[in-house]
Amino acid sequence: MYTVYTVPESTNVSAVVTVRLTPELERRLAREARRSRRSRSEVARAILEAHLAGPIVDPHAEARRQSLLASAQDADHLTLDFIEHAGDSRGWK
């Protein structure tokens, strides 16, 4: 278990967040910290900032968007080809 400190740039106040990591995730975090010559806290903070700063996508709206794009194809084989090559699967499991 690690305690991650977050420090807002404009103040001296910090928040402490405790996060449980699997052994594999702990190894990956430590490896990235060594590789980038930063502390584990700095790496975790950067990862959180990058992830949380990303665009907020409504899964329902994205599914509808992709469905409309696919349905605009003239034939079934064109639709399947479109889905295979142009469909956006980011974030979908």
Q: With beta carbons less than 8 A apart as the criterion, state whether 35 and 46 touch.
A: no
* pLDDT band for position 90 (cuts 50, 70, 90): low
Q: Is the pTM of this model over 0.85?
A: no
What is the C-alpha separation between 74 and 51, in angstroms, rounded? Answer: 38
Sort 66 into a burial class: Cβ within 10 Å, 0-12 / 13-18 / 19+.
middle
Q: Alpha helix locations (H) across the chain?
A: 23-36, 40-53, 59-71, 76-86
* pLDDT tens readout for residues 35-51: 999 999 999 999 998 88
What is the C-alpha separation between 86 and 68, in angstroms, rounded? Answer: 13
